[in-house]
Structure 1
Amino acid sequence: MSSKHLIEYEHASPEVRAVFEDIMATRRVDQVNNFWKALARHPETLRRTWESLKEVMAPDGALDPLTKELLYIAVSVTNNCGYCVASHTAAARKAGMTEAMLGELMAVIGMANETNRLAVGYRVPVDAAFEE
């Protein structure tokens, strides 16, 4: 998708501007990133996605913000979403992730994906000890 498909703040409808303003206020930034500008093409999706993300990624949950960002990176790497990897790696760095942590995270992601494929390929039955 080219940048011509992104909705900039100055061209946004009042509904989209309201979501953009909430994103900027919540994240303490002066502009929204391209993901939100792309979703602004469908205001209902923009609003729903932002509200869900804001709730799931809230800092007051059982998981701390860095852990949430690390999980987001892991899923994004596995799903091959370069945009999400970049975005959430930047957010994880802001939340305290070090280069050593990123390296170890990538090792875990690679290992989990490898062993997951092996378990699926061999159709390994789940051990009774792992059942609840």
Structure 2
Amino acid sequence: MTNLIEYAAASDEVRAVYDDIRTTRQTEYINNFWKALANHPPTLRRTWETLKEVMGGEGDIDPLTRELIYIAVSVTNGCEYCIASHTAAARAKGLTEKVRGELLAIVATANSTNRLANGYQVPIDEQFR
């Protein structure tokens, strides 16, 4: 198991990222994902900056939809940690169990039909180009 770097044991560089996470998310909590990445501060910093920009930055996709997309990709990739953390974030943004069920049905269907299309090597219709 990866060593989790707590705030008290963190370098100044890591603490600066932790402080930004706390400020941005308006919480004192630093989750285990960030504590694990803190083992390599450049990866921690780069990943936080990217996530902060993509998930919290300006754009036409609303915050709940961003979380739903993240959950869908995490389910497809089999990332239990990301499924749990982004489901919690989505619930805080209004996710209901009914919508969660619909989302998971879409993910399951897309994975199934994607595999069929790939397996059959279906040529793309001209009208879809």
Asked whether the two chains share a fold, i.e. TM above 0.5, the reply is yes
Percent identity for Structure 1 against Structure 2: 65
- Runs of 4+ aligned residues of structure 1 deviating over 4 Å after TM superposition are none
d(CA) in 1 for partners of 2:102, 2:57: 23
d(CA) in 2 for partners of 1:13, 1:59: 27
Contact 1:78-1:109 within 8 A present in 2 as well: yes
Deviations 1:59-93, CA, capped at 9 Å, x for gaps: 53110000000000000000000000000000000
Letter in 2 for 1:66: L
Aligned residues: 129
- Long gaps (5+) in structure 1: none
Per the alignment, in what secondary structure is the counterpart of residue 69 of structure 1? helix
Deviations 1:17-53, CA, capped at 9 Å, x for gaps: 0000000110111121000000000000000000000
- TM-score by length of structure 1 reads 0.96
Pairing partner for 2:23 from 10, 22, 25: 25
Letter in 2 for 1:98: T
d(CA) in 2 for partners of 1:61, 1:23: 20
Contact 1:7-1:37 within 8 A present in 2 as well: yes
- Long gaps (5+) in structure 2: none
RMSD across aligned positions (CA): 0.8
